[in-house]
Chain A
Amino acid sequence: MAAPDAPAPTYRLIGTRIPYIEGPLKVTGRAEYTDDIKRSGQLIARLLRSPWPHARLRSINVEKARAMPGVAAVLTGEKYPTPFGVLPITHDETAIAVGKVRYIGDILAAVAASDEATADRALEAIEVDIEPLPDYPEPQGGTIAVAEPIHARGLNGTNIQKEVVQHFGDVDAAFAKAHATVRVRGTFAGVTHAFTEPMATIAEATPDGRLTVWSATQVPHYLHRALSEVLGIPMHRIRVIKPEVGGGFGGKSDPLPHEIICAALSLETGRPVKILFDREDVFVTNHGRHPTKNDVRIAVDADGRILAYDIEALIDGGAWSSFGTVTTYYNGVLSMGPYRVPNFRYHGRRVYTTKPPSGAMRAHGGTNIRYSVELALDDLAERLGIDPFDLRERNALPPHSTTVNQFRITSTSFVKCLHAARERSGWDQKYRKLPYGKGVGLGCGFYISGSNSPIHFTPKMPQCTVHLKADMDGGIAVHCMQADIGQGSNTLLAAIVAEVVGVDLDRVHIMRVDSDVSPVDIGSYSSRVTFMMGNAARQAAESLRDQLIRAASRLTGYPPAQLEVAHEKIRVRHRPDIAVDYLAALHAAMERTGALLATGAYNSPPMGGDFKGARAGTAPAYSFAAYVAQVDVDVETGVYRVEKVWAAFDCGRVLNRLAVEGQIEGSIHMGLGQMMGEAMSYRGARLMNPSLLDYKIPMPQQMPEVECLLVGDDDPEGPFGGKEAGEGPLIATLPAVGNALHDAVGVRYHDLPVTPDKVLRGIEVREQSGRAWKGVG
């Protein structure tokens, strides 16, 4: 890290506002998404979904369906029964149900037919005989032994999928000597990603024994592995291609059953098969944020210094494990920043239920616990008469520190975030000073910048590899399996290469992700791409640059150490008038070898403790946030508006300002959704609102003004000093609004989403208790 007084280096591209390189194609409709691909002779696949939440399959008769004209294949579960799942330790899914169905929407059978209508008619001709089983729509009932566990692997005959018990320090002793304690019990409805592009896959098995799969996925590599495992085809005979993807937010990070089914149907028929989801398919596939109840106790001393956290979480997993083991850890350990917590105890349980599976969603595992912690801290600040900003600053984790559970914290500009948000929002003139119904609130957060431990990979291999090829035309082709799903990673990849090599951005061509040619990157999840791909790309580009510099050295007679790249040229550092054009250097470098090749790779350094679960939450860097939200509540109806959010965020150095601001604005929108109206709404095990009309994503009119305050210092290990900005920006949104509602009406809302009826009920309860809207008591 640069010494505090040294000027930070500046760059030609990095740090500017770089429009997405694929933007013109997307806005003109020319970008190619999976459904835009049409293969000659392709069939359309549709899925028969279970109408029962939990049932044993006695028989499935597909004869009538199979005999229908236009139907090419009907598939049931027994043909490919190999279990899979995103985590190697919890392979509990099958492509199609085998023996049982576990939620309304579970897949019973699949049809490939000449067109969608024919496939739909064939589904209706399939006869399924079942024995109904007791359903378990709520996790509470599943924490004890049940008559018919949803999975045999549930803990001791219960539906518990994962239980985590952790204790660092001595929580009881800390509570015994506490000056004040607080307890918050939060309830969080499940939410889902609601990305724009529904899932879509095309698979084509060809007579050469190969299988090509195009899929809307965030993690082509894990899909590649799952296809190989379930279909029994070696990976090198499977080719996975990722076209443009219209958003994922975690919902396209698991290998999903329909991707395997699509491939299986192509193997069955020898024809290309396409599957495109309806919105209802997307909703029941879910893998969104878990419905959760948490119970948070915090102890502080008289100065508001945190002594201990004592946390419980009951997490509703739905029918599959998905990322659930990680989720269970994260709901505890992602409370370990941005504050110093000397004593920590956590008991987390994720329970299978007969509902659509939950999984990873933007700010996975860090969102619900953060809401409860931040509301608890605000309550403590109020009771101790300490300003919420002061209380948080007093507890801030310092740079280059270690948490009690041995997270390695390197860079943190959290205190700078606090200062920026406090000053820009006019906090000291507003907090507890606005009229009834108006309020400001502070919410903070932190998030991993890439998981230190890849889920599904030989740990000795890099988490990301980037290949470059520069040929005589002066273009640089970039191969990497990193998955741009709309977050701008292609643009960043191109910018890093162009920056280092010194060329214009349009010389850099980001090649489509294709497992035949793209070196492995483990995909877009855990906010890892900027950090890991960025470092790999920089390394690869430096290698290419060095080849050019050596050639320029031969041409100029100056030693490489005295040369540097400038815009489209290489020049002598102390004699900038002596320079070689980029193309001249490139052609000189190619004289003996032809096209230049370069490679770069990234692997995170060793870190973390050596207790069970120690890897969960370890990351090579963390982002930090301090947000202030200002709300205006109609105290008679409970209808409220978030007027403005001041978003102070530490993503280290800003690499693409346009992308970072977009991520922050989008994150705030998504966070407001969970806060204000979005909910997977169930009656029993039945999802009531599987449509974008009934699932209440905030409308543009609900979007507040957002002021981005990007105050991060360079991270010592991040590419150019950068860290993640894709998930961390969501987390602080919810508690900032929650605490602002309290400032406005004197009620702390712990049941999300906080819809107008709940706001009003809270006000009524407060009034009935005789409590004023302002003041402790």
Chain B
Amino acid sequence: MHLDPFELHRPSSVEETVSLAGRLAPAFDYIAGGTDLLPNYKMRLNVRPNLIALEDVSELRGISLDRVGAMVRLGELETDPAFGSAYRGVVEAAAEVATPLVRASGTVGGNLLVETRCFFFNQSFPWRKSLGFCLKADGDKCHVVPQKEKCYATFSGDLAPTLAVLDAEVEVAGPDGRRRVPVASLYDASGDGIQRHHLRPSELIVAVHFPPEARTLRGSYRKLRIRPSFDFPELGVAVAARQSADGGVERLALSVGGLETYPRRFDDLTRRLVGERPTIAKVRELADAVRQLVRPVHNTALAPDYRRKMAGVYVRRSVAEILGVAEETR
């Protein structure tokens, strides 16, 4: 499989980057680690003639407890001791992305905006041509839910759910200046696997910012897949919580990725536990409600009914663990 030539641009500041992007839009892609983009280009998935490399933009670097640059490598993040002890869930997620080799290149920003996946989309050009192209690349129909006119490609990033439950925000730069967007509302909740997020074409994620409260939360990440590395999530459950000295829930957030077109928070459900002393019955009730709400489709390796069932199990386990609620043993 060959890679068609493209023009590579190497700006060195955020301002230069977004102004270049404004000029080239929409005929460009940003390239961070390239671990997902370049394989997709080889498969001729929405190839653009220009790539803007973020490699030389120093503002996109740096790890602190308040801020992580978008170009921080996942491998750097998972091995940063201070960050790891503050944000366990984020680091657990980073450490479960792909393989060590991919994490040496793959970045925080890249994982946040990683292309949604579907086994009718992530295929070579001849493969897709032989079946008939799909909505998400070169075509006008969905092979997953043929009667629909929307795309069901699955959100496959691991970091976003863990950042969403911490109320982290992304700092976005564009030709019109900078803005902050909560990670929890970065993604398109109308469930469109093509649109995916609310960034404008030439906008760029500069960094992730953590509110002071994030450091008071305990977080975790549980990931379902056939193999314990390399595979994208078939389900990813992030939770974060804080409890009072007597065990009462002061704050609880839950975000589920790998199931639908975007990582989804369940604030209406988690709110019910806030102010309560958690019991396994209440945790089960939450987990059952999540299971009933999620709607995975058959476009990944594991069947949707199983992934949905596992959403219930993983949410129950994660919430029970984070809140210190004992599960009865079988």
Contact = CB atoms under 8 A, between A and B. Distances in A.
A760 B306 contact: yes
B301 A694 contact: yes
Interface in A674-728: 676-677, 681, 686, 688-691, 693-694, 696, 698-702
B127 A699 contact: no
Contacts of A677: 226-227
A637 B306 CA distance: 9
Nearest to A284: B127
B129 to A, nearest CB: 6
Given A637-B313, A757-B306, A699 B330 contact: no
A636 B313 contact: yes
A693 B231 contact: yes
A163 interface: no
Given A49-B126, A280-B124, A696 B2 contact: no
B2 A120 contact: yes
Contacts of A690: 123-124, 127
In the A-B complex, the 4 residue pairs with the smallest Cβ-Cβ separation, listed nearest first, are A51-B130, A757-B306, A701-B228, A116-B2
B104 interface: no
Contacts of A698: 227
A278 B129 CA distance: 17
B119 interface: yes
A635 interface: yes
Interface string A41-64: 000000001011000000000000
Contacts of B126: 49, 51, 280
B229 A755 contact: no
Nearest to A44: B2
A436 interface: yes
A311 interface: no
Nearest to A48: B126
A686 B123 CA distance: 12
Contact of A696 (B1, B129, B301, B313): B301
Nearest to B4: A117
Given A51-B129, A693-B231, A702-B228, A637 B310 contact: yes
Interface in A5-57: 49, 51-52
A231 B171 CA distance: 65
Contacts of B27: none
B6 interface: no
B311 to A, nearest CB: 11
B38 interface: no
Nearest to A436: B330
B30 to A, nearest CB: 23
12 contacts: A278-B124, A280-B124, A636-B330, A637-B313, A689-B119, A693-B231, A696-B226, A696-B231, A701-B228, A701-B229, A757-B302, A757-B306
B101 interface: no
A756 interface: yes
A238 interface: no
B303 interface: yes
Nearest to B126: A49
A639 B124 CA distance: 31
A639 B227 CA distance: 10
B95 to A, nearest CB: 12
Interface in B285-330: 301-303, 306, 309-310, 313, 330
A686 B131 contact: yes
Interface of A: 49, 51-52, 104, 116-117, 120, 278, 280, 436, 635-637, 639, 676-677, 681, 686, 688-691, 693-694, 696, 698-702, 755-757, 760
Interface in B31-49: none
Given A690-B127, A757-B302, A760-B306, A699 B313 contact: no
Output the residue of A117, A686, A694 with the most chain B CB within 10 A. A694
A698 B231 CA distance: 11
Nearest to B327: A636
Main SS class of interface, B: loop
Interface of B: 1-2, 4, 119, 122-124, 126-127, 129-131, 224, 226-232, 301-303, 306, 309-310, 313, 330
Nearest to B1: A278
A681 B301 CA distance: 9
Main SS class of interface, A: loop
A49 B231 CA distance: 28
A672 to B, nearest CB: 11
A257 B85 CA distance: 57
Contacts of A104: 130
B61 to A, nearest CB: 29
A755 B231 CA distance: 14
Contacts of A693: 122, 230-232
Given A51-B130, A280-B127, A698-B227, A688 B119 contact: yes
Contacts of A694: 119, 122, 301
A277 to B, nearest CB: 10
A181 B216 CA distance: 64
Contacts of B230: 693, 699
A268 B130 CA distance: 29
B131 to A, nearest CB: 7
A696 B228 CA distance: 11
Contacts of B131: 51, 686
A313 B230 CA distance: 35
A92 to B, nearest CB: 24
B298 to A, nearest CB: 10
Contacts of A686: 130-131
A278 B119 CA distance: 18
Nearest to A636: B313
Nearest to B129: A51
A623 B310 CA distance: 43
A117 B2 contact: yes
Contacts of A49: 126
A120 B129 CA distance: 14
A689 B310 CA distance: 23
Output the residue of B227, B228, B229 with the most chain A CB within 10 A. B227
Contacts of A639: 224
Contacts of B227: 677, 696, 698-699, 701-702
A409 B127 CA distance: 49
Contacts of B306: 756-757, 760
Nearest to A686: B131
A117 B44 CA distance: 13
Contacts of A689: 119, 301
Given A104-B130, A681-B301, A693-B231, 17 more contacts: A116-B2, A117-B4, A120-B2, A278-B1, A280-B126, A635-B330, A636-B313, A637-B224, A637-B313, A639-B224, A689-B119, A689-B301, A693-B232, A701-B227, A701-B229, A756-B306, A760-B309
B97 to A, nearest CB: 13
B170 to A, nearest CB: 27
A699 B301 contact: no
A755 to B, nearest CB: 6
A124 to B, nearest CB: 9
A455 to B, nearest CB: 33
Nearest to B317: A636
A699 B231 CA distance: 10
A80 B231 CA distance: 43
Contacts of A120: 2
Given A689-B119, A690-B127, A757 B229 contact: no
A343 B227 CA distance: 42
Contacts of B122: 691, 693-694
A755 B302 contact: yes
Contact of A757 (B124, B228, B303, B330): B303
A699 B229 contact: yes
Nearest to A695: B301
A755 B310 contact: no
A52 B226 CA distance: 30
Given A51-B129, A694-B301, A755 B226 contact: yes
B189 to A, nearest CB: 28
B25 to A, nearest CB: 27
A562 to B, nearest CB: 61
Contacts of B1: 278, 280
